[in-house]
Amino acid sequence: MEDAEIKKTIIEFLGTKSKTKKMFYLSDIADGIGMKKREIKKAVQDMIEHGEIEPWSSGSTTYYMLPGARDVENL
């Protein structure tokens, strides 16, 4: 799968799942689209740089979400 296809698939996955869950581990995203973490890592980093998804770190764990999905009052 090419980077453009991976990015589109990630956005679709996050959009579909965001109704029940807002933040995902990288491994959750990889499992959800049927790929391995190392296969999507470059695409995810590129998406972060272009503002297509946002990372959030708890200090020990990094989560990924669609822009604006984080509800800071309920963390």
Is 32 inside a domain boundary?
yes
* Enclosing domain of residue 34: 3-67
Whether residue 18 lies inside any domain: the answer is: yes
Tokens of 34: 């049927």
Q: What's the structural domain count of the chain? A: 1
Asked if the structure places residue 25 within a domain, the reply is: yes
Which residues in the chain belong to E strands, given as ranges? 54-57, 62-65
CATH number of domain containing 33: 1.10.10.10
- Is residue 60 one of the residues assigned to a domain? yes
In contact, 2 and 9? CB cutoff 8 Å: no
Question: pLDDT by residue for the chain (75 residues), tens digit each?
Answer: 788 999 999 999 999 887 788 899 999 999 999 999 999 999 999 999 999 999 999 899 999 999 987 765 444
Alpha-carbon distance of 59 to 75, in angstroms, equals: 13
Q: Would 72 be classed as within a structural domain?
A: no
